[in-house]
Amino acid sequence: MSLANGRPYLAIPGPSVIPDRVLQAMHRGSPNIYEGHLIEMVASLWPDLRMVAGTTGHVAMYIGNGHAGWEAANANLFSRGDKALVLAVGQFGTSWANSARAMGVDVEVLDFGKSAPADMNRVEAALRADSGHKIKAVLTTQVDTASSIKTDIPRLRAAMDAAGHPALLAVDCIASLGCDEFRMDEWGVDVTVAACQKGLMTPPGLAFVWFSEQARLRCAGADLATPYWAWGPRAEAEEFWQLWNGTAPTTHLYGLREALDMLHEEGMPQVWNRHRVLAGAVWAAFDAWSAGNPAIAMNVADPGDRGWSVTAARFGAPHATRLRDWCETKAGVTLGIGLGMAPSTDPAYHGFLRVAHMGHVNAHMTLGALGVMEAGMQALEIPYGPGALAAAVKAVAAAA
């Protein structure tokens, strides 16, 4: 028998749950794109977009997903043959590197594996080795959604400064903006990339690139920038159409307005805190489950190296797939698949899953998902240690 009827919970790391308020804001016909309400409403987005990223710098918006955001950043940062240093701690860092390479950038990847954080000594050494300063920018994820590893951005900035290297710092915050603490200006980030369908709680379709004045000046002649991708006209548009180099993503913009209102009402420090506490509840549950079954293990050992929006974990093949199927069909909770984490003995990722706690998510959703996971383990006879739900409840109770 299934107990899945009722409101389903999509607990995958993007797209995330869309708030009813955002859906309702989008439920409207096409507005006039030449004058009137849309134009004024869009003007109100810029201060809030800067607020979520913690910057007074420039913002360019694109119709696109996170992959589009990467290419937008690449196109403006680099000319053909320029060099990029990319930090990889999972699938997403690697994919950003691949996109830059495919566009003609000379890419050096520092690969730290998929379970350990980036080693800043290696980053510093790589930058010191580049005595001719050929590296134009360092690219990194803040949270790699596949591995759930968080890169410590202030420490990365410090390593770049210690090396005395002038490279720009570009950060993919697609999985972390609106979830994990991020302060673009304070942390010395030059370029930030995000998309709307994760912490920003809006259906997939908008990508954002924030860039500092320094990045604007240093990248002014980048020859990869085509009319569509060039960030300058978007950030300094004189005509409304220039913001998108064509038709505006009208309906999405109303959704984004509402989502930004929600973040504004809650306040960024509280938004980050909520994610931190809910992540802590998930980790407490995993610690208890793992204690009774060593095949269950979070991918990242040190909590300080884990993102606050998603937790990646091993379950031992084929149990991850069995558990995901059970949670979805029997209890209405959809968990994330493993992505790029499979050992060669498990090509179908049957031993790995991800639990999202990203965006429009609260204690009842997270505790509910954990309860469902444990019910699934019990029903499927996957061994697990006791006390997980009590530990998660304690984490929530202590914080709230």
Closest residue by beta carbon to ligand PLP: 66
Of 63-71, 127-135, 236-244, 293-301, the segment contacting ligand PLP by CB under 6 A is 63-71
Q: Establish if 14 lies at the interface with ligand PLP (CB under 6 A).
A: yes
Q: Rounded to the nearest whole angstrom, what is the least distance from the CB of residue 172 to ligand PLP in the complex?
A: 5
Tell which residue, 59, 69, 51, 27, has the closest CA to residue 252.
27
Q: Establish if 249 lies at the interface with ligand PLP (CB under 6 A).
A: no
Give the Cα separation of 260 and 178 in Å (integer): 10
Q: Establish if 195 lies at the interface with ligand PLP (CB under 6 A).
A: yes
Q: Rounded to the nearest whole angstrom, what is the least distance from the CB of residue 195 to ligand PLP in the complex?
A: 5
Q: Establish if 141 lies at the interface with ligand PLP (CB under 6 A).
A: yes
The enclosing H or E element of 78 equals: none
Give the Cα separation of 326 and 261 in Å (integer): 36
Q: Establish if 202 lies at the interface with ligand PLP (CB under 6 A).
A: no
Helices (H), 165-314: 213-218, 231-235, 250-266, 268-292
Of 27-35, 43-51, 59-67, 291-299, the segment contacting ligand PLP by CB under 6 A is 59-67
Q: Rounded to the nearest whole angstrom, what is the least distance from the CB of residue 113 to ligand PLP in the complex?
A: 17
Q: Establish if 92 lies at the interface with ligand PLP (CB under 6 A).
A: yes
Tell which residue, 196, 259, 254, has the closest CA to residue 29.
254
Q: Establish if 258 lies at the interface with ligand PLP (CB under 6 A).
A: no
Count of positions on this chain that bind ligand PLP (CB under 6 A):
13
Of 108-116, 140-148, 320-328, 343-351, the segment contacting ligand PLP by CB under 6 A is 140-148
Give the Cα separation of 25 and 281 in Å (integer): 32
Q: Establish if 208 lies at the interface with ligand PLP (CB under 6 A).
A: no
Q: Establish if 134 lies at the interface with ligand PLP (CB under 6 A).
A: no
**Residue that is written with structure tokens 């004024």 in the block:** 40
Do 152 and 117 meet the contact criterion of CB atoms below 8 Å apart?
yes
Q: Rounded to the nearest whole angstrom, what is the least distance from the CB of residue 225 to ligand PLP in the complex?
A: 20
Give the Cα separation of 357 and 3 in Å (integer): 22
Q: Both tokens of residue 231?
A: 């960030």
31 vs 204 by CB, closer to ligand PLP: 204
Q: Rounded to the nearest whole angstrom, what is the least distance from the CB of residue 61 to ligand PLP in the complex?
A: 14
Tell which residue, 98, 9, 25, has the closest CA to residue 327.
9
> Residues 157 to 176: which contact ligand PLP by CB under 6 A?
172, 174-175
135 vs 193 by CB, closer to ligand PLP: 193
DSSP 110-148: EE--SSS---HHHHHHHHHH-TT--EEEEEEESEETTTT
Q: Establish if 65 lies at the interface with ligand PLP (CB under 6 A).
A: yes
14 vs 351 by CB, closer to ligand PLP: 14
Looking only at Cα atoms, what is the longest distance across the chain?
Answer: 66
Q: Establish if 67 lies at the interface with ligand PLP (CB under 6 A).
A: yes
76 vs 141 by CB, closer to ligand PLP: 141
Long-range contacts of the stretch 276-279 (C-beta < 8 A, 24+): 276/308, 277/363, 277/395, 277/396, 277/399, 277/400, 278/308, 278/357, 278/361, 278/362, 278/363, 278/366, 278/396, 279/306, 279/307, 279/308, 279/309, 279/311, 279/357
339 vs 377 by CB, closer to ligand PLP: 339
Q: How many other CB atoms are found less than 10 A from the CB of residue 44?
A: 11
- Residues near ligand PLP (CB under 6 A) are 14, 65-67, 92, 141, 144-145, 172, 174-175, 195, 204
